[in-house]
Structure 1
Amino acid sequence: MTRVLTTHVGSLPRSQDVVDFIFAREREEPYDAAAFDACMTMAVSDTVKKQKDAGIDIVSDGETSKISYATYVKDRYSGFSGDSPRNAPADLKMFPSFLQRIADSGGTPQYVRPMCTGEVRSKGQDELQKDIANLKSAMTEHGISRGFMNAASPGVISLFLQNDYYKSREAYLAALADAMKEEYETIVAAGLDLQLDCPDLALSRHMLFTDLSDEEFVNVAQMHVDALNHALSDVPQDRVRVHICWGNYEGPHLCDIPMSKMFDTLMATKSRYVLFETSNPRHGHEWSVFRDRKADIPEDKVLVPGVVDTTTNFVEHPELVAQRLKRFTDIVGTKRVIAGSDCGFGTFAGFGAVDPAIAYAKLAVLSEGAASVPGE
């Protein structure tokens, strides 16, 4: 009998030792490189063990060594310098007192976001190879057979590290796709699944493209997908996961473009697994989009709905998790559904709305709820 497998979006809370090392590097302060590497190795082992203990089948390294899921590329690729303009999401701008409250509480992470000011080229795969080695070693140590590693999509890089060098957005995306291609292929060649983080396909609508109509934004998003698919041209589709989201933050989210308008874009990605939000109050109803468009879901797609929210310290009841999953297994069957989280629990190093211990409690109820969904 096939049961519903479990995974999550990728990033997990880092220990304080890890955070201290990452920010020392981020601020270009002196640090012991050998001690940094040893700390990351130990932390990844601990992170994988915690995922196993929580019942997670398909694990990650928690993005332990990365400052964030997108801006880490500035450390691994040339062509970035200076600083990119900060732009708050449009929904937060609608409520300036709430935006100020977030800023005053320290809820806005401070890290470097350089612009693209030169040709984007890889500095080599050394840091990536260390991440791969740490994850594979931890999986072997703890008896885990399947893992995935996150990588930034060309589109999300262009969202956070904006272009001040290439003649057009299309040219910048093409350069990023060419540069990131080797990273994607290296992850898959190592025996890991590849996850592409693509909030540019939804979040950027109310961050960077607020002056466009929804229809115009969909055209931009398709351009991003075309660049991504080019970068994945030599990667087997069945090894690829794509995650779309509207921003991993507590807020009104009144400006989020609906899933109904991004459905075709998401399905057009060269991926077998599609991860998306369906737990938070703004997107919990959108399971019905998949029901109503069942005929338009390619037969090779596996749905990975988020069944726990990553912006609240409420721990969902396992029966609620099972109910959320059953909506999707009723559409495509148990074999084509994997239980996931809405977003990551440690999107930025040292910052996260959810307490680290509660994050793993959420993963445990994710697994408990998934186990109660009837198999096939």
Structure 2
Amino acid sequence: MPLLATHVGSLPRSQAVVDQLFARERGEDHDPAAFDLVMAEAVHEVVRRQTAAGIDIVSDGETSKISYATYVKDRYTGFGGDGPRTVPADLKLYPTFLDRLAMSGTGPKFARPMCVGEVRPKDQDALRKDIANLQAAMAAHGAERGFMNAASPGVISLFLQNAHYPSREAYLAALADAMKSEYQTIVAAGLDLQLDCPDLALSRHMLFTNLSDDDFVRVAQSHVEALNHALSDVPAEKIRVHICWGNYEGPHVCDIPMARMFDTLMSVKARYVLFETSNPRHGHEWAVFRDRAADIPDDKVLVPGVVDTTTNFVEHPELVRQRLDRFVDIVGAERVIAGSDCGFGTFAGFGAVDPEIAWSKLAVLGEGARAAG
């Protein structure tokens, strides 16, 4: 039986979508009805293209979100001002490369406010519109299974840092309580819930560079505890968790190894585990899963990233199949789904991969999945 194919969630936005998102981001006057129409039409198109590419478990491409973490500033109270921009430690080691990135002007520019007050949901109007758009597009294009992304408490704390609560732990607890209803609403709608958790790896070389690896693992475990609390009323079989080291082309020489994060990752209350295996810094780490096979809970489904999301190489479907078969040999075909390393449109309007090449990569992902197993 061929493997199913999915991806991490974010996909390239059309220029019409980008224009609407940044008009709202800059506080410009815009027509809410026109905004909603553009988003609905774009989600229909993004789902159509996913099904045409052979993707079995589709998303809305995070179409209406400016980014996978900072969208919460628009849907929750307590955020304001402008927070610090933290440069990853690996880029600091190569200042000429960092300068080149700065001069290229290709980095995303959007608000990263601080937490300056109590975090509470405003309402769920935007979330319900997202759900309705995805459900309508799935029905129109015959997609039987869909998922929706949501930020984890830990990743919110990474990008929207705390200037209100008395401690990091208190901030995480508040975020976990605030996000509960979003998680529950997504699953109640019949969709799978994906939690984006780069804080479990990326934050090691962004926010916690002064810690030892052991100390960082303890911090990451506290993030998992907050997340699991937020998921207490959501069944594990409806939950996906994604870990990554940062969706950017760079040296990544400061990344904490998967071997150090394996136990933390496996402790998340999620059946589906999405992780990177295609980029050159982490391509070898499939062996961690082989060597720790006995420690992978029986209810976990592995979703390795078998196409890279930071280069414009289009992988050969045979390479995709080979990458997938490594994991099939570890846990069996029924517990492997083909995925991507990260998203193709992490920040609206920005991405290293040309949009049409991104769609070609997804088609190759689907082709490789059908040949694997």
TM over 0.5: yes
Q: RMSD value over aligned CA atoms?
A: 0.5
Return the letter of the residue paired with 1:63: E
Return the letter of the residue paired with 1:290: F
Match of 1:75 in 2: 74
Match of 1:203 in 2: 202
SS of residue matched to 1:269? coil
Residue 270 of structure 1, CA deviation: 0.2
Distance across 1 between alignment mates of 2:118 and 2:149: 23
Distance across 1 between alignment mates of 2:285 and 2:136: 38
Match of 2:315 in 1: 316
Match of 2:86 in 1: 87
Distance across 1 between alignment mates of 2:9 and 2:105: 23
Match of 2:248 in 1: 249
Distance across 1 between alignment mates of 2:35 and 2:170: 36
Residue 107 of structure 1, CA deviation: 2.3
Match of 2:185 in 1: 186
Superposition pairs for residues 1-376 of structure 1, below 5 Å?
2-374=1-373
Residue 104 of structure 1, CA deviation: 1.3
Return the letter of the residue paired with 1:44: V
Residue 370 of structure 1, CA deviation: 1.0
SS of residue matched to 1:234? coil
SS of residue matched to 1:118? coil
Distance across 2 between alignment mates of 1:100 and 1:8: 32
Residue 106 of structure 1, CA deviation: 1.7
Distance across 2 between alignment mates of 1:15 and 1:367: 22
Distance across 1 between alignment mates of 2:333 and 2:302: 10
Return the letter of the residue paired with 1:9: V
Residue 116 of structure 1, CA deviation: 0.2
Residue 373 of structure 1, CA deviation: 1.2
Q: How big is each residue's C-alpha offset from its partner over 1:256-314, in whole Å with a ceiling of 9 and x where there is no partner?
A: 00000000000000000000000000000000000000000000000000000000000
Return the letter of the residue paired with 1:86: R
Return the letter of the residue paired with 2:63: T
Distance across 1 between alignment mates of 2:30 and 2:101: 31
Q: How big is each residue's C-alpha offset from its partner over 1:74-129, in whole Å with a ceiling of 9 and x where there is no partner?
A: 00000000011111100001011111111111221100000000000100100000
The answer to whether the 8 Å contact 1:8/1:340 transfers is yes
Distance across 1 between alignment mates of 2:77 and 2:114: 11
Return the letter of the residue paired with 1:175: A
SS of residue matched to 1:330? helix
SS of residue matched to 2:150? strand
Identity of aligned residues (%): 77
SS of residue matched to 1:135? helix
Return the letter of the residue paired with 2:148: M
Return the letter of the residue paired with 1:11: S
Q: Please, which runs of 5 or more residues in structure 1 have no aligned partner?
A: none
TM-score, scaled to structure 1: 0.99
The answer to whether the 8 Å contact 1:116/1:162 transfers is yes
TM-score, scaled to structure 2: 1.00
Residue 3 of structure 1, CA deviation: 2.2
SS of residue matched to 1:91? helix
The answer to whether the 8 Å contact 1:3/1:335 transfers is no
Return the letter of the residue paired with 1:70: A
SS of residue matched to 2:40? helix
Q: In the comparison of the two structures, how many residue pairs are matched?
A: 373
Distance across 1 between alignment mates of 2:273 and 2:241: 5
Q: How big is each residue's C-alpha offset from its partner over 1:25-72, in whole Å with a ceiling of 9 and x where there is no partner?
A: 000000111000000000000000000000000000000000000000
Runs of 4+ with >3 A deviation: none
SS of residue matched to 1:75? helix
Return the letter of the residue paired with 2:198: P
SS of residue matched to 2:61? coil
Q: Please, which runs of 5 or more residues in structure 2 have no aligned partner?
A: none
SS of residue matched to 2:120? strand
Return the letter of the residue paired with 2:273: V
Return the letter of the residue paired with 2:291: D
Residue 131 of structure 1, CA deviation: 0.2
